[in-house]
Amino acid sequence: MGIVVRAQAAPRPKSEAAKQVSLFYAAFITIMLVTQLFTFDTFIELIASYDLPINMMFVAALPAVIVATELFALPFLLRMRISAAFRWVSMACGWLVALLWAAVTLYVAASATQVETIGFFGTVLELIPGWWAVFVSLLFASMAAWSSWRLMPAANVKK
């Protein structure tokens, strides 16, 4: 049993389409991540303006959680050379990005909260909230599912 964690190459994808879907999802997450970090001070205020039905401490931490999960989702989607355990964590972060945005967009659309933007791109682009944002979040979930299923970290495990 070794204490040293060793980076491993990503397993071979089950299809070429899975690589393309994961790269598209990674590109979209990267653009979101950069724009959110670029305007992080106003992104925090934007998330607070949604009046989410959770504790204010969690509302204050939510922008950082969103940014961190987007960042940690990238190694799996880009098929980087990382440890097997972190590959699973990164895959879970890809799912968590979709679930967080689905929850936020669903609440904002259902409650008809008046905000200037949904926050996918921080406050750089003003995208009016609506049911289309929920659809985009579900699209994130479908890309996460496709990437997870076709780039599964345990693909190289022999039976």
Indicate the range of 5-9, 22-26, 78-82, 153-157 predicted with least confidence: 153-157
The C-alpha atoms of residue 67 and residue 73 are separated, in whole angstroms, by 10
The pLDDT assigned to 3 comes to 67
For residue 71, the surrounding DSSP H or E stretch is helix 56-77
Q: Give first-to-last CA distance, the chain, whole Å.
A: 21
Residue 54, pLDDT score: 87
Cα Rg of the chain, angstroms: 17
Q: What is the pLDDT of residues 125-144, one digit of tens each?
A: 888 888 999 999 999 999 99
| Eight-state DSSP code of residue 124 | T
Backbone angles phi, psi at 4, to 5 degrees: -75, 130
